[in-house]
Chains A and B, each alone.
Chain A
Amino acid sequence: MRFVDEFREPELVTRTADEIRRLADPARHYRFMEVCGGHTHAIYRFGLKDLLPSNIELIHGPGCPVCVLPMGRVDDGLSLAPSNDSQQREVIFAAFGDMMRVPGTTGSPLEHKARGMDVRIVYSPSDALKLAKANPGKHVMFFAIGFETTAPSTALTLMRAKSEGVHNFSVFCNHVTIIPAIRAILDSPDMRLDAFIGPGHVSTVIGCRPYEWIVQNERKPIVISGFEPLDMLQSIVMLLRQLNRGEAKVENQYRRVVPWEGNRAALRAMAEVFQLRPYFEWRGLGFISQSALRIRDAYAEWDTEQRFDVPGVRVTDPKAAQCGEVLKGVLKPHQCKLFGRECTPEHPIGALMVSSEGSCAAYYNYEHRKTAMVNILSRTA
């Protein structure tokens, strides 16, 4: 398959892995954070850790949209679906497949669907708008999630809803921004990182410039990376070269997709529809200032939060769950007290165990028993 197979080519993968071993100083321990959940998924999906020397440690970052969503927001969204809008239209809850298993206090959207709530999986926000047009007697609420990757398509959909005058449609906006999350991680005192594998899809929209403060203020290299095995290995080569030369700069490995300046049309659409919230709660990371988007007043009619009486539920995470530490990369998934016991993909307590981009689910599905076996073997040895 084109654009996929060439980035999984066995000989090139082996050669790049050799190059990594050659560049990595055996006397040194490297800690690289992959910011994006897509990268976390790829690392486990392709078993990339098997190809890396043991002194290169990959730390999973906060870039999984459903993982950082506080449970209260899920409850808020679900609480609206059984209600009616001001014209007494019943509400249809529409969201990406990613959201469907994310637990709220009274269960996930999928569980609510099984109990009779009208829950629809959509592939893009514009499909949700289509749904509204096809169901004029109902109100479609799109539960929007994602970083700058998905925010532009939500923005364009809102612009279209306004220009076409579709009034039975609104967006419950949970879009967040990546840079403040990285900043929060770097500000965390228990975090020691050598470099970053930068998010690929987010950067197609925001470009590479917004990362420059990391290299200027923190002196840490960052390489924007693609998601195939060769992409990620090449990014690690680039990081090692920078570190060996004592450099710290922003480099773009994913040039076939990411323009240095970003996508101006997408940024314009976002600026037209969204403004920064003064602060927003992130699961595990707490309140981070200017880290999320709200819908501008010019689009108030399509803003679920302005149109409905959103309860504003706040749910504290179970004390024993250590989602925050895992999200910040302080703990590895299996080091959480609940991992694999109370918290499994079937009975997730935190969203990290739900999304295939969540490090706990990725670790559980692809690595868990492998590691457990290695642990047993090393203990008996």
Chain B
Amino acid sequence: MTPAAVLRNIAENTAPQVRFREPQIEMAHGAGGKASRRLVEGLFAPLLFGASLEPLADAAHLSINGAKIAITTDSFVVKPLSFPGGSIGELAVNGTVNDLAVSGARAEAMVVTFVLEAGLPTELLEAEVRAMANAARKAGVKITGGDTKVVEHGKADRMYITTTGIGSPLPGVRIDPRSVKRGDKVVLSGPIGDHGITILLARGELDLEADLRSDTRSILPLVEAMVAAAGPAIRWMRDPTRGGAATSLNELARDCGLGIALFEDNVPVRDAVRGACELLGLDPLHIANEGQFLAVVAREFADAAITALHATPGGEQAQIIGEVCDQPAGSVLASTSYGGSRIVDMLVGDPLPRIC
């Protein structure tokens, strides 16, 4: 073999393995479920992160010259731009604050990128920038810079916002799904489905009305209260946004290699969300949230975690909704009080209403 051929051979054998073979990007690749995971794990991870064996998390924790930081980024393309209980600007701040929080970090600073469509009324932009400033003040995070791009009319849906945040790790907590053990408890911070159903109804395509608001908020105060009460006993956290609680719990089951037994009757769901889901054939476990989180806490500390959440404003409805068990390994099994059970899978694509 010539030296060039040897080098080529080495290069080929050490080249990252791209496993994503789908011919084009479909909407499902952005919906947060199985397809999104295939894209990230099959294309982005091997080419960008190398052969890292770390499970994918909401934020990366790094050590730079001895300083520990957490970093994350998120883009927001919601339609409509504003809806009962919030708007895209508020979501963009809270989303990144929350991704840092569930990785065990407090958001410190944030930069913002706006992609604006020519023709966007300034009034609308100003309202969203004000909403961001407000949300940042509430969450205690500084917005330190940003970038603006304008694209031709019709090339974007009015405005997209990307936020990138850095945070400082909360002392005394280390999030790693591989530390999850049999017997650990699954904690949920409050009622699920409010955001997703609010958005679905706000689009106005369904001609349904309900007294419902998005749950967008910073969950940092709740996370901090729980960390103070149960710190080292917290093994895993996630904010169940797109794909809902079902998707987050399936990712957990896969990453820890254990099963999650869900007590379906303990999962708090508001009547308006339940009603809309019954009517539209949707499962609240698949609906997006913007102000809740799931946590796995060691059995002995579960009650302390719940007590701490209940004592924090906005955490009154926190519940233990399940338990980690050996079987079904890698899956989530929901059981009901009357003895039936079912596998709860990740969402495929976006939730679609079912009529006939």
B348→A370 contact, CB < 8 A: no
Alpha-carbon distance A50/B353, docked complex (angstroms): 28
Q: Given the interface contacts A123-B207, A346-B35, does A98 sit within 8 Å of B356 by beta carbon? A: yes
* Cross-chain contact A47 with B342 (CB below 8 angstroms): yes
The residue on B at minimum CB distance from A147 is B356
Question: Which chain B residues numbered 316 to 356 have a C-beta less than 8 Å away from chain A?
Answer: 327-328, 331, 333, 335-343, 345, 348-349, 352-356
Contact between B336 and A369, CB atoms less than 8 A apart: no
Chain A, 39-51, contact with B by CB distance < 8 Å: what is the 0/1 string?
0000011111011
Contacts of A14 in B (CB 8 A): 338-339
Is the CB–CB distance between A10 and B27 below 8 Å?
A: no
Instruction: Tell which of A100, A113, A150, A370 touches B356, judged by Cβ atoms closer than 8 Å.
Output: A150
Partner of B355, one of A17, A96, A366, A369: A96
Q: Is the CB of B205 within 8 A of A98?
A: no
Q: How far is the CB of A349 from chain B (nearest CB, A)?
A: 14
List, in ascending order, chain B residues with CB within 8 A of A1's CB: 271, 274-275, 278
Q: Do B338 and A10 touch (CB < 8 A)?
A: yes
For the complex formed, measure the closest distance between the CB of B4 and the CB atoms of chain A, giving whole angstroms: 41
Residues 284-337 of B contacting A (Cβ, < 8 Å): 327-328, 331, 333, 335-337
Residue of B nearest to A50 (CB): B340
Please measure, in the bound complex, the distance between the C-alpha atom of A373 and the C-alpha atom of B328, giving whole angstroms: 7
Give every chain B residue within 8 A of A124 (Cβ-Cβ): 207, 355
Q: How far is the CA of A65 from the CA of B271 in the complex (A)?
A: 29
User: Which of A14, A47, A110, A373 is the most central at the interface, judged by chain B CB atoms within 10 Å of its CB?
Assistant: A47
B341 touches A370 (CB 8 A): yes
Stretch at the interface among A114-122, A190-198, A277-285, A326-334: A114-122
A288 to chain B, nearest CB (A): 19
A46 adjacent to B340 (CB under 8 Å): yes
Q: In the complex the two chains form, is A110's CB within 8 Å of B342's CB?
A: no
Q: Would you call B340 and A365 a contact (CB within 8 A)?
A: no
- Chain A stretch 311-366: residues in CB contact (< 8 A) with chain B: 345-346, 355-357, 364-366
Does A97 lie at the interface of the complex (its beta carbon under 8 Å from any beta carbon of B)?
yes
Q: Chain B 103-125 against A: per-residue CB contact (8 Å), 1 yes, 0 no?
A: 00000000000000000000000
Measured in the bound complex, the distance between the Cα atoms of B2 and A341 in whole Å is 43
A10 touches B337 (CB 8 A): yes
Interfacial chain A residues near B171, Cβ < 8 Å:
none
Asked whether any CB of chain A lies closer than 8 Å to the CB of B206, the reply is yes
Closest-CB distance, B11 to chain A (whole angstroms): 33
CB distance B340 to A357 under 8 Å?
no
Q: Which residues of B contact A356 (CB under 8 A)?
A: 281, 354
What is the bound-complex CA distance between A17 and B205, given in angstroms?
41
**Least CB distance, A20 to chain B, in whole angstroms:** 13
Interface contact A47-B281, CB-CB below 8 Å = no
State whether the Cβ of B34 lies closer than 8 Å to any Cβ in chain A: yes
A9 to B338, CA, bound (A): 8
Residues in B neighbouring A365, C-beta threshold 8 A: 343, 345
Residues of A in contact, count (CB < 8 Å)? 51
- Measured CB to CB, the closest approach of chain A to B92, in angstroms, equals 24
Q: Name B's A-contacting residues (CB within 8 A).
A: 26-28, 34-35, 205-208, 271, 274-275, 278, 280-281, 327-328, 331, 333, 335-343, 345, 348-349, 352-356
Q: Could you pull out 30 A-B pairs where Cβ atoms are within 8 angstroms?
A: A1-B271, A1-B278, A10-B338, A13-B338, A13-B339, A14-B338, A45-B342, A51-B338, A66-B356, A96-B356, A98-B354, A100-B352, A101-B349, A110-B26, A110-B349, A121-B352, A122-B205, A123-B205, A123-B207, A123-B355, A124-B207, A127-B207, A145-B356, A149-B356, A150-B355, A150-B356, A357-B354, A366-B342, A369-B328, A370-B328
Q: What is the CB-to-nearest-CB distance from A350 to chain B, in angstroms, rounded to a whole number? A: 15
- Set of chain A residues within 8 Å of B327, measured between Cβ atoms: 373
- Would you call B343 and A369 a contact (CB within 8 A)? yes
Query: Which residues on B sit within 8 Å (CB–CB) of A17?
Result: 338-339
Sample of 5 more A-B contacts, CB < 8 Å, known A123-B207, A123-B353, A355-B354? A4-B278, A44-B342, A47-B339, A346-B28, A366-B345
In the complex, A127→B275 CA distance in Å? 21
CA distance A356 to B26 in the complex (A): 21
Q: Smallest distance from the beta carbon of B267 to chain A beta carbons, Å? A: 14
Task: Across the interface, name the chain A residue whose C-beta is closest to B265.
Answer: A10
- In this complex, the member of A51, A149, A365 whose beta carbon has the largest number of chain B beta carbons within 10 angstroms is A365
CB distance from A191 to the nearest CB of B (A): 25
Contact partner, A51, options B333, B340, B356, Cβ 8 Å: B340
Q: What per-residue 1/0 map shows which CB atoms of A94-106 lie under 8 Å from chain B?
A: 0011101100000
Q: In the complex, are the beta carbons of B354 and A368 less than 8 A apart?
A: no
A112-159 at interface with B (beta carbon < 8 Å): 113-114, 120-124, 127, 145-147, 149-150
Tell me the complex Cα distance, A96–B28, Å: 18
Q: Are A65 and B342 in contact (CB under 8 A)?
A: no
| Nearest-CB residue, chain A, relative to B34 | A346
CA distance A367 to B340 in the complex (A): 11
Contact status A47-B205, CB under 8 Å: no
B206, B207, B354: most-surrounded residue (chain A CB, <10 A): B354
* A127 to B204 Cα, complex, angstroms: 11
A22 touches B (CB below 8 Å): no
Q: Is the CB of A120 within 8 A of B205?
A: yes
Complex Cα distance, B349 from A111, in Å, reads: 11
Contacts of A127 in B (CB 8 A): 205, 207
* A1-23 contacts to B (CB < 8 Å): 1, 4, 8-10, 13-14, 17
